[in-house]
């Protein structure tokens, strides 16, 4: 190889390398940016879809729990009416008929899914009052009718029943807001 050939080979290789760098690097960077943009877009779509799926599951779970709690409230409102009426007439009852287990089971989940601490506290207080009503009915069942406190307890049960039914109705109305 002669010096002029070597010079032309070096010059052509250098020129080709420079052209490759000048045009190739920006093109490679552009291609890489486009690929990264597509990956970012696909990841964003996937995350958005996952978020929607999680939100839908939470909505369905909340609706199910609210439905179960509403059913419990309906049963309890009817039981309150029955116990209040029968005790008010002086009839002997064998149970209050209140259903308190659903609240006990659902309480931890309701606290997580209903984002209204004041309403959750109101629910807890209501079910605590139902527990007190149930205890009063149970106490009256165990007492002899001739016992002096029996009449006072009867009066308190008859007074508390309508109050609890009214509050239960208000709670059911507010609870519907969380069903959807």
Query: Is 154 in a helix, a strand, or coil?
Result: helix
Domain count, the chain: 1
For the chain, how many residues are written? 180
Identify which of 88, 72, 70 has the alpha carbon closest to the alpha carbon of residue 157: 88
Q: Is the pLDDT of residue 146 over 60?
A: no
Residue range 148-164, pLDDT digits in tens: 667 788 889 889 999 99
Domain with 118, as residue range(s), is 3-176
Question: In sequence order, which residues have a C-beta less than 8 Å from that of residue 161 and are 6 or more positions away?
Answer: 80, 81, 83, 84, 133
Asked if 46 and 155 count as a contact pair (C-beta separation under 8 A), the reply is no
Task: Kindly report the pTM of this predicted structure.
Answer: 0.72
Residue range 9-67, pLDDT digits in tens: 777 778 777 777 777 777 778 888 888 888 888 888 899 999 999 989 988 988 899 99
């Amino acid at each position: 190889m002669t010096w002029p050939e070597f010079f032309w080979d070096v010059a052509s290789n250098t020129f080709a390398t420079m052209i490759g760098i000048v045009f190739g690097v920006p093109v490679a960077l552009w291609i890489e940016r486009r690929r990264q943009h597509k990956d970012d877009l696909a990841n964003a779509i996937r995350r958005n879809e996952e978020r929607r799926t999680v939100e839908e599951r939470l909505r369905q779970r909340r609706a199910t729990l609210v439905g179960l709690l509403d059913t419990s409230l309906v049963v309890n409102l009817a039981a309150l009416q029955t116990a209040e009426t029968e005790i008010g007439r002086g009839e002997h009852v064998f149970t209050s008929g209140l259903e308190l287990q659903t609240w006990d089971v659902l309480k931890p989940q309701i606290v997580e899914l209903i984002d209204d601490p004041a309403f959750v506290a109101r629910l807890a207080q209501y079910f605590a009052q139902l527990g007190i009503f149930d205890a009063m009915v149970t106490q009256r069942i165990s007492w002899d009718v001739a016992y002096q406190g029996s009449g006072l307890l009867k009066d308190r049960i008859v007074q508390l029943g309508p109050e609890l039914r009214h509050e239960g109705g208000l709670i059911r109305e507010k609870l519907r807001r969380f069903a959807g």
